[in-house]
Each structure stands twice: as structure tokens, then as C-alpha cells.
Structure 1
């Protein structure tokens, strides 16, 4: 075999190994890069949601609806990024990372449900249908409580696996 052929084979093998390393690390790296933005949007959504609830309790329905819409936008932004991370998982990604992302997705989906229920409650309160509005409010609270359970679960995943999370 000529030295030129050996050089070509060496370069091809080196490129294949480099591509494999990048592919294996890309899922985790992609997740690590995306998570700060995802977390920030979730926290912003939580703050907006809590403000919306406070405004409902103060009967400021217009501002409350604006805050609820903003919370929903933040949660939707997070959910879109989470699905992007999830779609980029390689077969070699650690199962803990998969569990983490799935848990965060479940959390955000429940928070979006809570936002939708809160907006329904606001609509009812605006037309003085207080009984129905209260029922929607209770359902929103239940959905948010379930979401907080997922939030606690994802925090436990991180605490139990500190070497897997940056």
C-alpha cells in the first residue's frame, strides 16, 4: 500500500472518530447549553403566573390575564426548547438525562394547563360567574401543585447525580 493510500485511510479514520465523538457528546452538550435558557423561562413563567394569581385575588382581571398570557409564553418557549433537546438525543445519552428532560417536559406541560385553567377562571370572574371561576381556579391550583411535584422530582434527579449535571 502506498504512503498516499495510508494517509487517506488515516484521515478518513480520524474524521470518523471525530464525528463519532461529536455525535456522542452533542446530546449532553446541547442539553447543557439549552438548560440555562429553559430554566430562566420556567422561572419567569412561574413569577408571571404567581403575579397573575395575586392580581386575580385583587380583582384586577385585565392585568391578571396579561400576566397569565406572559406566563404561558414563557412556558411555551421552554417547552419548545425542551422538545428540541429531546429530539437531538443520541442513543448513547445517559438515561438520567432522558429522565430529567422528560420530567421537565411533564412539569412545563402541567404549568401550561394551569395557565389555561387560570385564564378560564379569569374569564368567568370578569362576567361575575364566581362559582365556575372558583372551580377553574381550584383546578389551576391542582395542576400547579402537580407541576411542583415534577419540579421537586427534577431537582432530586440533579441532587442525586451531581456529576452528570453542570
Structure 2
């Protein structure tokens, strides 16, 4: 075999290995890159949700609905990014990180349900169906309270495994 062919084979193998390394960008690295964006969406969603509740209490239904819609968009954006992470888990993701992501997803899904119930409540209050609106508001509050259970699990995962979580990974 000539030196030229050996060199081509070596370069080809090197190129394949390099491509594999680039292609296998670790899921943990991807999580670390996306978590600040996901966290920001959740924080903004929580603020918008709380603002919406305050505006409902002040009978400012139009602005309240705008804030509720914004909260839903922020939560959905974060949820979509989490689903992308979840669908691309590779072997480098340990079970603690998987549990963390799964708990964030469950938390946000409940927050989205809370937003939907809040919007139902706002619509009812606007047309003076106060009893119906109060019922929806209680359901929204229940969903938010239930979402806190998943946040508490996440917090426990972080406190029990501090070496597994970089500061920018935590929501």
C-alpha cells in the first residue's frame, strides 16, 4: 500500500472521529446552554401570572388577560425547549439530570393549566359570572400549588447533588 493511500485512510479516519466528536455534542452541555433561557421563560411566566392575578383582583380584566397570555407564552416557550432537551437525551445524561428535567416539565405543564384556568376566570369575571370565575380562579390556584410540589422535588435534587449542577443549570 502506498504512503499516499495510507495518508488518505488516516485522514479519513481522523475526519470520521472528528465528525463523531462534533456530532455527539453532549446532552449535558446542551442542557447547560439552554437552562438560562428556560429559567428566564419560567421566571417571566411566573411574574406575568402573578401580575395577572393582581390585575384581576383590581378588576382590570383587559390587562390581566394580556398578562395571562404572556405568562402562557413564556411557559410554553420554556416547555418546548425542555421537550427538545428531553427528546435528545444521550448516554451522558445521568438519572438525576433526567429527573430534574422531567420535574421541570411537569411543573410547567401544571402552570400552563393554571394560566388556562385563570384566563377562564378572567372571561367569567368580565361578564359578571363571578361565581363561575371564582371557581376557575380556585382551580388555577390549585394547579399553581400542585406545581410547587415539582419545584420542591427539583430543589431537593439540586441540594442533594450539588456537584452535578452548575449554577446556570438551576432554575
Task: Report the Cα distance in structure 2 between the residues aligned to 1:60 and 1:130, rounded to whole angstroms.
Answer: 14
Q: Which residue of 1 aligns with 2:142?
A: 142
Residue 109 (structure 1) aligned with residue 106 (structure 2): no
CA displacement at 1:91 relative to structure 2: 3.1
Q: Which residue of 1 aligns with 2:169?
A: none
- TM-score norm. by structure 2 comes to 0.87
Range 87-96 or range 76-85, more displaced: 87-96
1:114–1:144 Cα contact (<8 Å) kept: yes
Which ranges in structure 1 are unaligned for 5 or more consecutive residues? none
Which ranges in structure 2 are unaligned for 5 or more consecutive residues? 167-171
1:53–1:64 Cα contact (<8 Å) kept: yes
Cα root mean square deviation, aligned: 1.8
Query: Highest relative contact order (Cα 8 Å, sep 6+), 1 or 2?
Result: 2
Task: Report the Cα distance in structure 2 between the residues aligned to 1:73 and 1:106, rounded to whole angstroms.
Answer: 16
Q: Which residue of 1 aligns with 2:60?
A: 60
CA displacement at 1:109 relative to structure 2: 0.5
Deviations 1:100-144 (A, max 9, x none): 111111111100000000000111111111111111000000000
2:56–2:122 Cα contact (<8 Å) kept: yes
Q: Which residue of 2 aligns with 1:133?
A: 133
Task: Report the Cα distance in structure 1 between the residues aligned to 2:88 and 2:23, rounded to whole angstroms.
Answer: 10
Residue 91 (structure 1) aligned with residue 91 (structure 2): yes
| Deviation beyond 6 Å, 4+ runs, structure 1 | none
Task: Report the Cα distance in structure 2 between the residues aligned to 1:114 and 1:4, rounded to whole angstroms.
Answer: 67
Equivalent residue pairs, number: 166
